[in-house]
Each structure stands twice: as C-alpha cells, then as structure tokens.
Amino acid sequence: MTPPDLSDPLTGPFWQGARAGELRVSWCAACDRAVWYPRAHCEICDGALHWRTLSGEASLIAWSEVSAALNPDFDTPYLTGLVSPREAPYIRLVTRLVDCCAADLRCDMAVTVRFRELQPRDGAAFIAPVFAPA
C-alpha cells in the first residue's frame, strides 16, 4: 500500500492535519459549508476551497465489523464506520472505529476523533483520524 502523499494538493492537508492532531475538511467560504470528499472547487458554487479544522465531535451513522479481508492491506478484524461531524452533519467521513467493540455501538451515538498510526501489511505506517465513543 502506498502511504498517503502529504504533498498532494488535493488531500495532503487532510493527512498533514492528522499528523498535527487535527481533523481537517475542505470548506467553501462562499457557501460556508464543508465540501467532502476534497475536490479542486466547490461542487455548488465552483468557488475556491480552504481547509478548516473541526472539533472532532461527531455522530455515528453506520458501522461494520470487517472480518474478511476485502482490502489485504490491514489485518482483520476491525471496525469501520461512517460518522458525521458536528460542524458539518451533512457529510460522512469513512473511518476506523477504535477503543470499542461492535456491541458498544449505537446509531447516532456521540463519537470523538482520535489519531492513530495505521500499519499496512506492506508499506509505511501513517497517522489517520479514527473515532471512538465519546
């Protein structure tokens, strides 16, 4: 697996944020809303985007325990989920869920960001935002 490219103009600021302990999403100042996934311009007004650091507070929308390795890069089992950030509840972040087991999880439960080093089987470790029950 190729680790995230911190110099990539489109996604680098997200990964740089993770290394700095910040959850960042691309944001349109004109629309005053998050634009996710990152793209070159706002999907609504075509305006320029910048990066905004969020609180890391979010709600859990959905989750799954991965027990069969669809992606060979990571050992199973692990929990993956969709979360909606408090400041931008209309977007969904695909993430890893940590410090919990599947039986702990409930729809709309409060979760908070953590930063963990993920180690692919083949490739360099990298820091990623993950979420845990608040």
Q: Which residues bind Zn ion (CB under 5 A)?
A: 28, 30-31, 42, 44-45, 47
Residue 96's closest CA among 68, 125, 127, 72? 127
Q: How far is the CB of 45 from Zn ion (least distance, A)?
A: 3
Q: Which is nearer to Zn ion, 34 or 97 (CB)?
A: 34
Q: How far is the CB of 32 from Zn ion (least distance, A)?
A: 8
Q: How far is the CB of 92 from Zn ion (least distance, A)?
A: 19
Residue 92's closest CA among 134, 37, 40? 37
* CA 34/CA 43 separation, integer angstroms: 10
Q: Which is nearer to Zn ion, 31 or 98 (CB)?
A: 31
Q: Which is nearer to Zn ion, 13 or 56 (CB)?
A: 13
Token pair recorded at residue 122: 């083949």
* CA 18/CA 51 separation, integer angstroms: 13
